[in-house]
Structure 1
Amino acid sequence: MKQPVFDFKRELSENVLSRFFIAGQWSPVDGALRRTLIDPSTEAPMCDVPLASFSDIDHAVAAARQAFDLGPWAQLSGPQRATHLRLFAEIVNDRLPLLTRLWTAQVGAPVAFAGRFSGFAPAMLDYYAQLAETFEFTQVRETFEGKADVIRQPVGVVALIAPWNAQLPILAYKLGAALAAGCTVIIKSPPESPFDALVLAECAEEAGIPDGVINVVTADRDEGAYLVASHGVDKVSFTGSTAVGKTIANVCIQRMARFTLELGGKSAAIILDDADLQATVGALAHFSMPFSGQICFAQTRLLVPQSRHEEFVSAYTQAIASLAVGDPWDDTTHLGPVASATQYERVLAYIQSGLDEGARIVTGGSRAKGHGSGFFIEPTVFVDVTPEMTIARQEIFGPVVVIMAYEDDAHALRLANDSDFGLSGSVFSTSTERAAAFARQIKTGNVTINGLQMAPNVPFGGFKQSGMGREGGPEGLDAFLESQAIYLPSV
């Protein structure tokens, strides 16, 4: 079934289309910078997006600073903040049909994919409402000479920066935890997908969250860097590329601002020699290149026992070749376009590098057939890949997967860990016990047995160059808290 194409002027309010949300008000944009959104399916312009100037950033930081220093939010109890958060989650849930369609409209996520994952946003907000209600923000501990109150205080004003590919669910990780902790926030929306956060601002306004607690601006790189460097910002929570994450970390360290980084991935799916072939291929067909591979947890390195290499390559290639590539508004589409011309050229360059370095393509490798316009790339599978090749080491962020053969479990583990990244992973076996034992040896933040799972109460984040810190679960709340100890004398 084909969904109607998104009508920005009809489906979004004038506030969302033309203003920023600052200090509880829909504020006119100070600067004259604008960006045209391009439909990744047709390459046609869709609408103009206003971008923040440095003065817009200053205005948003000042509003968040005042709301934190003088407003009520940080002083509320956990249960009081939970009441606001729960209502916020309910309103976001009510607007999921719009937010799902918006995801498809802005960056070409297939509607079936967007529908499956957009519900993660209200679930995450609701989880942090529950956690805020029960979390011990103050503990009393016995000391040598009396006792101490150990108080978990909000870190302060936080810049939340989520990437263009999955604004809604990624932002919900950050926003839910920051609000539960008592922080105030400035959300920097990316120019490629600017409207999710502004719709969330409408939801927050309706939920009665106090003025200045949530501020939203859309900004490009220079203005984003200006926000990160602002002395009014106590913490930066960033999801994006490793290169940008390193820059943010260096800037924050200069003034000892806190930061959390969720960065790139080159995740391995390890198929053990006893894995059920049909079930494994069925799972990996959808998790190895979801959203045309533009998801950080995509399982893009498939490690297969040499004894089963030929049968796995045959079965997996057939499954990938059968995926429907096409209109993201069609419910039956598995893979839509990549999000932009820049992304399109980047992915094709990686494919060419694989060929230049000696790898072999068994399916795909070029523009998807039947698409004269739009940024469509065939799902592409490489074999004869060695660990030092560029396509085996760098995050491509496109519908490209490499298959590598291993000799035994020890060799498989070496290949899995031979990466600069460590974000996600999976292990496939008919023995859960064997797979779990193998998973514990992988240097990566998240591993699923026989599939791919995520849950609001479980931490997400990476080892090595995949980032620092965790989002989700109690660990995600910890990232927005500082600890203060007050020693009290014995009575």
Structure 2
Amino acid sequence: MFDPGSEITSHVRDRFYINGEWIRAHSSERSVLVSPDTELKFIDAPLADQVDVDRAVAAARNAFDSGPWPGLAPAQRAVHLRALAVELRRRLPLFSRLWTAQVGAPVSFANLFVGVAPAMFDYYADLLETYAFEDRRKTAYGHAQVIREPVGVAALIAPWNATLPILSYKLAAALAAGCTTVVKSSPETPLDLLLLAECAEAVGIPPGVVNVITADREAGAYLVAQRGIDKVSFTGSTAAGKQIARVCIDRMARFTLELGGKSAAILLDDVDLATILGGLAPFTMPFSGQICFAQTRIIAPRKRLDEIVQAYAGAMSGLVVGDPWSEATHLGPLSSARQLDRTIGYVERAVAEGARLVTGGKRSGHLDRGYYFQPTVFADVTADMTIAREEVFGPVVSVIAYDDVEDAIRLANDSDFGLSGTVFSSDPERGYQVARRIKTGNIGVNGLEMAPNIPFGGYKQSGVGREGGPEGLEAFLETKAVYRIGVA
């Protein structure tokens, strides 16, 4: 179990980090954290109001306009990023425990993915040593210097489900670009990013460059609307992303949005089920399905449908659902009572619309408390059903039958989203050719991987822009052309 009193400092428990100082919140409002495996309160944390937001924005604005960070040479910023990676790596066990304590991520899952954070800072430190922030181009009357400059003050808004890994994509790129930042934590997971602020303080990131607050939706909307914010990077729901885009467009602030998904795993008719199940299963219900890239639609050949449904449902029903602190657990609890109720509602609607429940479909009966839900598989699902179109964010997967490859591609693309996807085939080249035709930002052949040097983001309502890779750095840069007439 997790003990906030002994495992994290009073700063992380009860303060915000603004302008290099740990300050008390102006507001008396608190976010109450309930353990998803015990349903008991284990800590509360301060919430920001408009005064706190104003303080954080002013600190970041001053640090950008008058501070040293934007003017540092890229190699100098790289030194800071590498130091931050070292400090994050030193504290990874604690970051992992925070993930499990706040939202119930199984320790095996948390330990596996928490390392994304230092890897992102190391990647951008390396990129800073080779990236061309300036180049010279000949013109008819002389030449031009094309200069890439930091966009300014960036508001970085992280979701509750994978707070540290997702924020690391944003913060590492923003700092590499020379931006200063206001980091907003979700009320459900206030602790991760304040611990990250301790890391930034420990390695000497200048005051005002990284400011961390925890805010609810109202204060978050106030942050996005501030004229002192030049760029917003948001990960979360499509509905919230659309609202953020409207606010940013109104004053032409830059924005990057990484939003929802309803990704498809296409099983071509030549797949060897015994071989692919090990690669397919982990990406269909990771973290009880509470990850945007979850492959929640399995597109299966009709002539092998019964075989695939039986094999996949058997694999899912064999997963261990239980204590997230146990290394043997595959699926822990859902993050909250709200997420549990949401999942139950989608299951009930799927049954009402005619989908066939193959396995799961209810709370885990062997546990007397906690927001646990059984791994759930539906068959006889059609593309027009709610369960096939909307993001559940629970351990629920739909199997949809196709007649031929063209039909499989049509079904995979018949979605408002386009974030991730996979194609499984005994012929990797055949799988690759199908993958090229899927309208999605990321897709794997015979598996899925996320790497720091590869851009991540979505088509359609899955978002705007990319994070990771050089593309992620460029999202925090503006381009200026300076013509030098008469200078060869």
Other-structure match for 1:102: 98
Q: Which residue of 1 aligns with 2:19?
A: 23
Aligned to 1:374: 370
Q: Quick check: 1:453 aligned with 2:449?
A: yes
User: After superposition, where does 1:29-428 map in structure 2 within 5 Å?
Assistant: 29-428=25-424
AA of the residue aligned to 1:311 = E
CA contact (8 A) 1:262 1:467 kept: yes
2 CA distance for matches of 1:414 and 1:420? 13
- Cα deviation for residue 452 of structure 1 reads 1.1
Q: Following the alignment from structure 2 to structure 1, what is the Cα–Cα distance between the partners of residues 185 and 134?
A: 34
| CA distance in 2 between partners of 1:422 and 1:139 (Å) | 34
1:201 Cα deviation after fit:
0.5
| SS of corresponding position for 2:129 | helix
* 1:457 Cα deviation from its structure 2 partner: 0.1
Deviation at 1:489, TM superposition (A): 2.0
Moved more, 128-137 or 475-484: 128-137
DSSP-derived class of the 1:292 partner: helix
Q: Deviations over 1:55-99 (max 9, x none)?
A: 000000000000000000001111110010011111101110100
Name the stretch that deviates more: 68-77 or 278-287. 278-287
Taking the aligned partners of 2:119 and 2:278, their CA distance within structure 1 comes to 27
Which residue of structure 2 aligns with residue 441 of structure 1?
437
**Which shifted more, 273-282 or 24-33?**
273-282
Letter in 1 for 2:441: G
Structure-2 separation of matches of 1:361 and 1:282: 23
Kindly state the Cα deviation for residue 28 of structure 1 after the two structures are TM-superposed: 1.3
- For residues 352 and 381 of structure 1, the distance between their equivalents in structure 2, rounded to whole angstroms, comes to 13
Letter of the aligned partner of 2:12 in structure 1?
V
Q: Corresponding residue for 1:466?
A: 462
Count of equivalent residues? 487
1:350-397, CA deviations, whole angstroms, 9 ceiling, x for partnerless residues?
Answer: 000100100010000000121221100001000010100000000000
8 Å CA contact 1:270, 1:412 repeated in 2? yes
* Structure 1 position 278, deviation (Å): 1.1
Please give the per-residue CA displacement for 1:202-253, whole angstroms capped at 9, x wherever unaligned.
Answer: 1111111110000000000100000000111001000000000000000000
Report Cα offsets for 1:23-53 as digits up to 9, x if no partner: 0001111110001100000100000111001
Partner amino acid, structure 2, of 1:395: E
> Which contiguous aligned blocks of 4+ residues in structure 1 show a shift greater than 3 angstroms?
none
1:134 aligned counterpart, secondary structure: coil
Amino acid at match of 2:118: P
Alignment partner of 1:113: what SS? helix
- Give me the whole-angstrom Cα distance separating, in 2, the residues matched to 1:481 and 1:278: 47
Shift of 1:281: 1.6
Partners of 1:350 and 1:371 in 2: CA distance:
22
Distance of 1:145 and 1:445 partners within structure 2: 41
Secondary structure (helix, strand or coil) at the match of 2:456 reads coil
- TM-superposition CA deviations, 1:424-474 (whole Å, max 9, x none): 000000111100000000000000111111100000000000000000000
Contact 1:79 1:134 in 2 (8 A): no
Match of 2:8 in 1: 12
Residue by residue over 1:173-203, the C-alpha shift from the partner in whole angstroms, topping out at 9 and shown as x without a partner, is: 0000000000000000001011111011011
| Conserved 8 A contact 1:78-1:134 | no
Q: Secondary structure at the match of 2:36?
A: coil
CA distance in structure 2 between the partners assigned to 1:464 and 1:41 by the alignment: 35
Paired with 2:29 and 2:156, the residues of 1 have a C-alpha distance of 21
CA distance in 2: counterparts of 1:397 and 1:458, whole angstroms? 25
CA deviation after TM superposition for structure 1 residue 112, in Å: 0.0
Q: RMSD across aligned C-alpha pairs, in angstroms?
A: 0.6
**In structure 1, C-alpha distance between the alignment counterparts of 2:384 and 2:221, rounded to whole Å:** 33
| Identical pairs, percent | 62
Residues 384-420 of structure 1, C-alpha deviations (whole Å, 9 max, x = no match): 1010000000000000000011000000000000000
